[in-house]
């Protein structure tokens, strides 16, 4: 497989999973802990970690993957996680420059009531330079979807679409239709998680 195609597939694996999930029902995972802008406590982080591991094991068991499927998924998910780490590292590397520009913006705002044209131009240039390549992800979305569908059977795809973490203790999807998108996000997060990947090794 050409390297560019392989990279596109790994980059858009998560988008592909989301696309698959949009064709079927899902329910929300429970939300709790600290609210927006509030740092979670150690106990809340521990609860979140346990929930993630439970969800990963439940999805792994529900999919009932054979050895070749596990190997194929491990490669795709591993590459996707590596790409995500690469993007995170790139953002971290660019952060000092962004902070410098924003500090200048803030200083000018406090002093003159508005940023200078040069600062605005610098901020725009930074965002343009560091803008994610959405066209590449869009181009590879269908390839990623096809890769996932090539690995899983139709029955497994349906299981993925309808999967609900801790279903035995949560309301069924029809009771909370407004949370279905959160449910899809939850399943996508489970599938791309290090906890799920560890089960494939």
Give the whole-angstrom CA distance, residue 27 versus residue 11: 25
How is 171-195 classified by DSSP, letter by letter? --GGG-GGGHHHHHHHHHHHHTSHH
pTM of structure: 0.66
Q: 109: which 2 tokens?
A: 């705002």
- Phi and psi for 31 in degrees, rounded to 5? -120, 145
Give the whole-angstrom CA distance, residue 72 versus residue 21: 20
Instruction: Give the three-class secondary structure for 166.
Output: coil
Degrees to nearest 5, angle at CA 115 with 111 and 117: 135
Residue 24 in contact with residue 162, Cβ under 8 Å?
A: yes
**In the chain, what are the domain boundaries?**
3-27+47-96+134-200
- What end-to-end distance do the CA atoms of the chain give, in Å? 23
Average of per-residue pLDDT across 141-145 = 71
pLDDT, tens digit, for every residue of 74-113?
Answer: 998 888 888 888 889 999 999 999 999 999 999 999 999 9
* pLDDT score at 81: 85
pLDDT of 4 > 50? The answer is no
Mean of per-residue pLDDT scores for the chain: 79
Reduce the secondary structure of 99-167 to three states and give it as a string.
HHHHHHHHHHHHHHCCCCHHHHHHHHHHHHHCCCCHHHHHHHHHHHHHHHHHHCCHHHHHHHHHCCCCH
Residue 20 in contact with residue 184, Cβ under 8 Å?
A: no
Average of per-residue pLDDT across 166-181 = 65
Give the whole-angstrom CA distance, residue 85 versus residue 175: 37
């Amino acid at each position: 497989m050409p390297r560019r195609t392989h990279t596109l597939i790994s980059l858009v694996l998560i988008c592909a999973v989301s696309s698959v999930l949009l064709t079927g029902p899902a329910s929300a995972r429970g939300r709790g802990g600290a609210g927006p802008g509030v740092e979670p406590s150690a106990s809340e982080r521990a609860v979140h970690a346990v929930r993630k591991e439970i969800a990963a094991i439940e999805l792994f068991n529900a999919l009932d993957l054979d050895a070749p499927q596990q190997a194929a998924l491990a490669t795709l998910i591993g590459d996707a996680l590596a790409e995500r780490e690469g993007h995170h590292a790139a953002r971290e590397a660019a952060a000092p420059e962004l902070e410098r520009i924003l500090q200048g913006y803030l200083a000018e705002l406090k002093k003159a009531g508005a940023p200078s044209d040069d600062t605005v131009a610098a901020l725009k240039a930074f965002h343009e330079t560091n803008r994610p390549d959405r066209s590449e992800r869009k181009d590879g979305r269908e390839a990623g979807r096809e890769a996932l569908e090539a690995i899983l059977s139709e029955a497994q795809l349906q299981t993925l679409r309808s999967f609900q973490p801790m279903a035995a203790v949560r309301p069924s999807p029809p009771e909370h239709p407004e949370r279905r998108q959160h449910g899809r996000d939850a399943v996508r997060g489970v599938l791309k998680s290090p906890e799920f990947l560890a089960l494939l090794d």
